[in-house]
């Protein structure tokens, strides 16, 4: 009997029901005006309710939280961890994201602090197979200068970082290069958004890509 109990204790426990714990870290710095904020919030909400995204969220029992970020010391959770395990939960989360006021305005762009603030949130997240920070921004870091170090801390913690780089309409890829060079973790990716008008399509594509189960 004791041998059986010992054998059972050595068996691996059940795998987490949650596939992904996802932090959506949304830029609300001074370069994002009121109209652009509405595009980001509405685009994010609509993406969550896209049929393909909704299906992926429910299939993965995804846990989601939303962080607004701007300058140094300006990071605020506007949606606590919420399990996206049914359409009603997704609808409630989307409506909240669509209508919640921006947490900050008229300040700098502290990308490293946004990453570090996102990292702390996983301490209270449900147990999930993968932890991902999904950060969007329209400018390089101009406050704090810690994005590279923050990325190293995320990598060491086993947290992946992906990004949406919101570029000015035109040929410039400066923001995309910044996120590729200093922000995303190894194996991460950047999806460029050519102006904020393209943001809704970008966030949909990004969610679908990062919610895919990795090939075994």
DSSP string, 51-76: HHHHHHHHHTTEEEEEEEE-STT-EE
Contact (CB, 8 A) for 161 and 114: no
Q: Could you tell me the two tokens for 58?
A: 């429910």
Reported as a pLDDT band with limits 50, 70 and 90, residue 1 is low
Fold of 23-145+155-211: Rossmann fold (3.40.50)
User: How large a percentage of the chain has pLDDT more than 90?
Assistant: 75
CA distance 162 to 94: 21
Tokens of 30: 């001074």
pLDDT tens track for 17-56: 899 999 999 999 998 989 889 989 999 999 999 999 999 9
pTM, full prediction: 0.89
| Residue extents of the structural domains in the chain | 23-145+155-211
């Amino acid at each position: 009997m004791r041998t059986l109990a010992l054998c059972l204790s050595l068996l691996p426990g059940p795998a987490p029901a949650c596939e992904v714990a996802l932090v959506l870290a949304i830029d609300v710095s001074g370069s994002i005006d009121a109209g652009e904020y509405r595009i980001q919030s509405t685009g994010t909400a609509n993406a969550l309710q896209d049929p393909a995204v909704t299906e992926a969220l429910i299939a993965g029992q995804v846990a989601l939280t939303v962080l607004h970020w701007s300058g140094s010391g300006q990071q605020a959770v506007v949606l606590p961890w919420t399990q996206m395990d049914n359409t009603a939960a997704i609808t409630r989360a989307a409506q909240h994201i669509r209508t919640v006021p921006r947490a900050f305005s008229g300040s700098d762009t502290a990308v490293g602090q946004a990453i570090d603030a996102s990292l702390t949130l996983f301490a209270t997240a449900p147990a999930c197979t993968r932890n991902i920070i999904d950060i969007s921004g329209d400018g390089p870091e101009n406050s704090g200068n810690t994005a590279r170090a923050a990325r190293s801390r995320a990598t060491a913690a086993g947290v992946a970082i992906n990004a949406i780089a919101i570029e000015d309409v035109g040929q410039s890829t400066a923001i995309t290069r910044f996120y590729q060079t200093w922000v995303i973790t190894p194996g991460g990716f950047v999806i460029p958004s050519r102006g904020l008008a393209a943001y809704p399509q970008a966030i949909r594509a990004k969610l679908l890509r990062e919610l895919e189960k990795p090939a075994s």
